[in-house]
Structure 1
Amino acid sequence: MEGSSAATDAARNNESLVRQAGIGNLLLASLNPDDFALLAPHLQRVQLELNSVIAQAGAPIDTLFFPEAGVIGFADVLKDGQRLAVALTGRDGFVGWPLVLGNDRWPHQAIVRAERGTALRIRAADLVPILAGNERIRTTLLRYASSLVAQMARTIVSNLIHPVECRTARWLLLYHDRVQGDEIAITHEELGVMLGVRRSSITDALHQLEGAGAVRGYRGRVLVRDRARLEALAGETYGFAEAEYRRLLAPTAALA
């Protein structure tokens, strides 16, 4: 009986293991199968509910997330409660990148945006020793962190020198890279908070993008009609960080 019970438990554990085949996260999908096998026993698939906060600035990083679907926004939160967007990630990356740089606390708030999704969750206590013993996994995560720093740097530059309509086009492209389909669930107010501008400025910017035929705005959502036109309107605000991602992680983990 004991042997039968042990065999049953082993079978259940085997069934609960996350399989690499068909996995939604591009970083995990790109790993060598032997490397992924080190992570698999520690991965747990969880739901990402829209607008849920999965990390608070200053809190310890005890859990990391590898999104398979959905969008995660990183934001700086000021003393008055205002949030300013600094970067986005989704199935192209992971949430918890400061840990691989030696920082055990969250520098930003992380919140689920645009649509609900799923992610593979792993405890920091399980991941850290794996990274210490496996250079290939560590390098993959470090390369992603480098590409995200490039995205944040372009956010800073864009906020300093580019007009609101270019910045709005850029953020819509960042979302479009990561949502399923061409429709983005986002309000004028949310975009205004993210860009640190008044709602009326976002309304004017979206009218310009609509007039150019790039998008169409609806109540609480934006439809991307012509991506090439939207990229042209975004100008230099978009493209550099995305090229860095492809350079560092292509061809197996390129943005869709």
Structure 2
Amino acid sequence: MEDETLNAEDAGSLQASRMEDNALLRVLDEAARAALAPHLELVPFRNGDMIARAGDPADSICFPLTGIAAVLDSLEGDRRYAVALVGNEGFIGWPLILGDGRWPHDVVMRAEHGVAMRLSAEALYGTIAEHPEIRTVLLRFVGVLMTQMSRTIVSSLAHSIERRMARWILLYHDRVCEDDICMTHEEFRLMLGVRRSSVTDALHKLEEDEAIRSLRGRVIVRDRERLLRLAGDTYGFAEAEYRRLLLG
């Protein structure tokens, strides 16, 4: 019995330590984290795994610990386009916070294998009833995500392919652990909405500027400051809002 108790305590300690890997969970006070901890389930995802599918019931939310969740919107003819990225700074499952029970987008794991902490809708609502500040934190992140999405729209209308590519590489770079990032031509097509030849040309221009090195299926960030200059005002506003609303 004693060994079982120790094992349970070790498991609880591990759960609490993994919660620290998600910045949004770290924002919550100790009482809110303690209330959530027993309901959180560690879930692995492989690169390319579908986390959510548009139109399916939304019955849980996920707090990524590693990896990138790409949010994709779909058009007729199975055309899909990336509209936002979420890493360990946030959560997936905002329809439940906004009163909707269905996923409006596809969500796919990108860049690397990932791990998330999943929370059922029932546990979410029950915990929020006792700790309403959790809803406030989650809604603030939803606001930041909407800001990221709006900048994606405006950038697609107003900026060159090279500038938009620099922005997407920065968004990936923010959410992975290394400068060497798994980014394929297909992913750039989803993000930029252009042909593969245009992706290749844009990658070559960023290489000429010595901002990146492009390899087969990978991008290595060589100079982040140059990427920031290339991205210009396509990048930075949503990131500043995150700091203001959640870290300030």
Is the pair's TM-score, using the shorter chain for normalization, greater than 0.5? Answer: yes
Give the structure 2 partner of residue 216 of structure 1. Answer: 213
* 1:66-215 matched pairs, under 5 angstroms: 66-215=63-212
Partner of 1:16: 11
8 A contact 1:187–1:219 mirrored in 2 = yes
**How much does 1:11 deviate?**
5.1
Residue 58 of structure 1: SS of its match in structure 2?
Answer: coil
* 57-66 vs 221-230, which moves further: 57-66
Q: What does the per-residue CA deviation read over 1:3-51, in whole Å, with 9 as the maximum and x for residues that have no partner?
A: x5xx776655444331147721011122111110110000111212110
Q: Could you tell me how far apart the structure 1 residues matched to 2:28 and 2:6 are?
A: 25
Q: 1:22 to 1:45 in 2, by over 3 A?
A: closer
Runs (5+) with no aligned partner, structure 1: 252-256
Give the alignment's TM-score, normalised by structure 1: 0.91
Structure 1 contact 66–120 (Cα < 8 Å) conserved: yes
* 2:176 partner SS: coil
Q: In the TM superposition, what whole-angstrom CA distance separates every residue of 1:115-142 from its partner, at most 9, and x where no partner exists? A: 0121111111111121233221111111
Distance 1:81 1:224 in 2: 31
What is the deviation of 1:194? 2.4
In structure 2, the CA distance between the partners of 1:101 and 1:227, relative to structure 1 (3 Å rule), is same
Q: Which amino acid in structure 1 is aligned with residue 11 of structure 2?
A: S
Residue type at the aligned position of 2:214: G
Partner of 2:45: 48
Q: Which amino acid aligns with 1:240?
A: F
Shift of 1:240: 0.7
Q: What residue ranges of structure 2 are gaps of 5+ in the alignment?
A: none
- 8 A contact 2:24–2:90 mirrored in 1: yes
Corresponding residue of 1:254: none
- On the 8 A contact 1:87/1:152 being kept in 2, the answer is yes
Aligned-partner Cα distance in 2 for 1:237–1:182: 20
Normalising by structure 2, report the TM-score.
Answer: 0.94
